[in-house]
Structure formats: C-alpha cells, structure tokens
C-alpha cells in the first residue's frame, strides 16, 4: 500500500503527498476513527492510503503511522523544529506565549528557534532586547525582515533538511516568511505552486510545504491562548536551558520561588537568567500548580 504525508486537511478531505510518485491525492478517512481509537489525522502525519482513482488522484487513508511527536497547538505532527515567531511590533511580542511554546517544544524533545520578525520597523532596539532575553537559552535566534531581507539566508540554512512548524500570534508574519522562503527555494513540481494567502489574510488551516533543498515547512494559524500539557509545576524548571546548573538548591523539590539558598535564584541574581523569563516562570509555575491541585475537580 502506498505511503504518504498529510499536507493539509480541510473539511474531512486530506491532501496526501504520495511518497513514491510525488503526486497529491485527495483522501477521505472514513472508518479511521474506529480503527485507531479516535485519533484525528494531523498535518505532518505519515499515512498509508489506498488509491481509489489514479486519474483524478483520489484516495482513502488507511492508517496513521506512528508519530515521532505531535502538538495540540499548533495541530501538527512529526516536526523536527518549532519556529516561534514574534514581531518587534505590530503586534507587540507576547513573551508569555513564547515561553509556553518553548517549554512545550523542549518537553517534546524538539529544539525551538526564535524568529524576531519585522526588524525593519524596529526603532528602539527592541530586537536586541529580545535577543538578550533569550540569549542564554542557547536556541537559535534569527532577526528577519521581508523589507530588508535580513536573516533570510540564515533562515534557509536552518530550514534545509528539517520539518519546521511556524507558530505564534496572529499577524507576526508567519505566512509572509513562508511565502518568501518558498519564492526563493520553491519546489519545481506542482505542490507548492499553490500559494499561501498573502497580505491581510489570516491563516485558517495548517499547511505543509516542501522545500527544494530538502525538508518541509508548516504554516499554522496564529493563536494567543495556550495551555501547557507536557510539563507539571515540578518539572517546569527542567524546560529552561538557562536554569540548568550543577549547584543544588538547599531544599529538595525547591520551586525556586520563595525558598532560601536557591541555585536558580543565584543564577537570576548573577544575571544569567533574565528577570522577565524568571517572572513568567513563577507565573506559569503557579498556573500549573493550581491545575495540579484542582486535578480531581471539574
């Protein structure tokens, strides 16, 4: 049976890129819910499918193959990198959302990268401030502008050979970035001739595109609310690379908030941990603890 990858799914129809012939098949999934315990197919899923009509390229998804990983938000699977996109302004960066996306990514063993977009609009060294906040995470941070083209060559190098999902607030420029990348490094064959909607269009569906240099990129709809499912208050600090130290906190199970002789507080005081990152950590800690404490309530 042929194998393929789901490029997009709209209204119960899935576009599946056939592995063998490189054609795109429009597939339905009738029955799969019963077969695989109600698993909903995600963009990025590797599947086996039946070809129902090889002329009109219609098919039927048979099975979703084991996922390397999956996200609820954005709803994607099998990614290698998560590109967390923010803009210097229009809209102003929501760093709480950035931190939550990073935590989730790290928890899934996926290396995030941070993209600071619209640097052509930067008037008060906002990009430098943002870079500084995340510097000690060690993650790749790219500053990008579609106007000046700054950062695009570096971005392309980062994308090649990987499957990268772009995530972040609405309006930060995810679709614009993907369009720019596809314009330069577009597949020759049909699948990416279909363009992402431009300009003022808000993306409504997740879509996967193939790069001619190897790898895929995923456009996703913007969002602003996000809840962490992959970490508990107890494991939260493990998902902050710059919090890692061989020093020990005095108290076992230290929350790094109110306890004395805390190794993380020392990192904060010595400037290794950014104050805003730490403050958001305490807020997320409290949110996670609260939902843990209320786990048996409705």
DSSP code per residue over 193-237: TSPPPPTTPPP-S-EEEEBTTS-EEEE----S-----S--TTTGG
Nearer to ligand GTP, 1 or 147 (CB): 147
Q: Is 197 in contact with 175 (CB distance < 8 Å)? A: yes
Interaction of residue 221 with ligand GTP, rule CB under 6 A:
yes
Interaction of residue 75 with ligand GTP, rule CB under 6 A:
no
Nearer to ligand GTP, 15 or 117 (CB): 117
Considering only residues 135 through 154, tell me which ones interact with ligand GTP, judged by CB under 6 A. Answer: 145-147
Each residue 84-103 as x (binds ligand GTP by CB under 6 A) or -, in order, gives --------------------
Q: Give the interface size with ligand GTP as a residue count (CB under 6 A).
A: 19
Interaction of residue 202 with ligand GTP, rule CB under 6 A:
yes
Closest CA to 164 of 204, 115, 96: 115
Each residue 5-44 as x (binds ligand GTP by CB under 6 A) or -, in order, gives ----------------------------------------
189-224 per-residue burial string, b: 16 or more CB within 10 A, e: under 16 = eebbeeebeeeeeebeebbbbbbeeebbbbbbbbee
Residues that bind Mg ion (CB under 5 A): 174-175, 203
Interaction of residue 249 with Zn ion, rule CB under 5 A:
yes
Strand order in the sheet with 111-117: 141-143, 111-117, 81-87, 163-167, 216-219, 207-210
For the chain, the farthest-separated pair of C-alpha atoms sits apart, in whole angstroms, at 71
* Min CB(107)–Zn ion separation in Å: 20
Interaction of residue 116 with Zn ion, rule CB under 5 A:
no
Terminal-to-terminal C-alpha distance of the chain: 45
Interaction of residue 267 with Zn ion, rule CB under 5 A:
no
Pick from 172, 208, 228, 264: which binds ligand GTP (CB under 6 A)?
172
User: Distance between CA atoms of 56 and 59, rounded to whole angstroms?
Assistant: 9
Interaction of residue 115 with Zn ion, rule CB under 5 A:
no
Q: Which residues bind ligand GTP (CB under 6 A)?
A: 117-118, 120-121, 145-147, 170-176, 199, 202-203, 221-222
């Amino acid at each position: 049976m042929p194998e393929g990858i789901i490029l997009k799914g709209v209204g119960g129809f899935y576009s599946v890129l056939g592995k063998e012939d490189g054609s795109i098949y429009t597939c339905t999934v009738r029955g799969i819910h019963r077969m695989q315990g109600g698993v909903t197919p995600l963009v990025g899923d590797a599947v086996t499918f039946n070809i129902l009509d090889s002329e009109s390229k219609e098919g039927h998804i048979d099975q979703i193959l084991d996922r390397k990983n999956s996200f609820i938000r954005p709803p994607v699977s099998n990614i290698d990198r998560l590109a967390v996109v923010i803009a210097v302004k229009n809209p102003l960066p929501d760093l709480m959302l950035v931190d939550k996306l990073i935590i989730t990514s790290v928890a899934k063993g996926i290396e995030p990268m941070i993209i600071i977009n619209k640097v052509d609009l930067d008037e008060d060294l906002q990009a430098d401030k943002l870079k500084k906040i995340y510097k000690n995470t060690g993650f790749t941070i790219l500053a990008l502008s579609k106007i000046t083209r700054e950062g695009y060559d570096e971005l392309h190098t980062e994308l090649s050979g990987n499957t990268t999902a772009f995530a972040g607030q609405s309006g930060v420029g995810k679709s614009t970035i993907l369009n720019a990348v596809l314009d330069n490094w577009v597949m020759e064959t049909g699948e990416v001739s279909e363009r992402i909607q431009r300009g003022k269009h808000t993306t409504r569906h997740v879509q996967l595109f193939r790069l001619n240099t190897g790898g895929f990129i995923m456009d996703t709809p913007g969002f602003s609310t996000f809840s962490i499912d992959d970490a508990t208050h107890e494991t939260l600090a493990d998902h902050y690379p710059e919090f890692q130290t061989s020093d020990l906190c005095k108290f076992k199970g230290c929350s790094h908030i109110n306890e004395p002789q805390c190794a993380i507080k020392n990192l904060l005081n010595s400037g290794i941990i950014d104050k805003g990152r730490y403050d958001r950590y305490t807020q997320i800690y409290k949110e996670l603890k609260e939902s843990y404490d209320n786990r048996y309530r409705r």
